[in-house]
Amino acid sequence: MDQALIEESIRNIFKAIGEDANRPGIQETPTRVARMYEEIFSTLETPDFINYKLFDTDDSINGEMITVADIPFYSMCEHHLLPFFGTVSVGYIPKNNKVIGLSKIPRLVDYATKKPTLQEEVTSTIGNTLMDILDPAGVAVFVKARHMCVEMRGVKKSNSMTKSSFYRGGFTNIDTQQEFFNTLNN
């Protein structure tokens, strides 16, 4: 990531909006923003999710639902570069005696959200990645988020919640979806 270019760009934004980039309260802001972007856009240079480990299990786990609920995330809308944030819940049904380490699911959420993106892309990236690396009997992803591009500008609708979902395999069955949501609410 080009820190110097980011800093120069932030100074230019201040200039363009009529703000003095050398004013004491903001003269270090370009450096802070550049460091922040390096952190919050950290997966831009990682084309594939590789930070996971699969574990072998006995066949008693096959066909049973595993869920990880309410994983918090923060991301940036690629349309306005404003934050959106919320939670991700994931369910999958193992097959072939394979499960993913539970801590890897929140890491996958980080991978999908630490770049300028859309909530819909976050949802499908998480779901498709789990389908690819696990080859499970099914995957469900449910994302709910608040978008500052909706709340701060345009329609200015505070506390509105955007919800998106991904269902593959066994989760295309409405009863399995209901079981997934029941586990999230308990």
- Residue tagged active-site, from 3, 121, 149, 151: 149
pLDDT tens digits for range 1-24: 999 999 999 999 999 999 999 999
Strand (E) or helix (H) holding 167: strand 162-169
Cα 69 from Cα 82, distance rounded (Å): 25
The reply to whether 119 belongs to the active site is yes
Helix axes 3-16, 29-40, angle to 10 degrees: 130
The reply to whether 19 belongs to the active site is no
pLDDT tens digits for range 79-104: 999 999 999 999 999 999 999 999 99
- For tokens 């609708």, the residue is 157
- Residue tagged active-site, from 64, 78, 120, 178: 78
- Per the structure block, which two tokens stand in for 166? 């991904």
- Residue tagged active-site, from 80, 121, 151, 179: 80
**Mind listing the domains of the chain with CATH numbers?**
3-40 (1.10.286.10), 54-184 (3.30.1130.10)
Q: Which residues are annotated as a binding site for Zn(2+)?
A: 77, 80, 149
Identify the DSSP state of 186. -
Q: Which residues are annotated as a binding site?
A: 77, 80, 149
Name the burial class of residue 105, with classes exposed (0-12), middle (13-18) and buried (19+) by CB atoms within 10 angstroms of its CB.
buried
The reply to whether 149 belongs to the active site is yes
pLDDT tens digits for range 118-140: 999 999 999 999 999 999 999 99
Cα 47 from Cα 64, distance rounded (Å): 31
The reply to whether 28 belongs to the active site is no
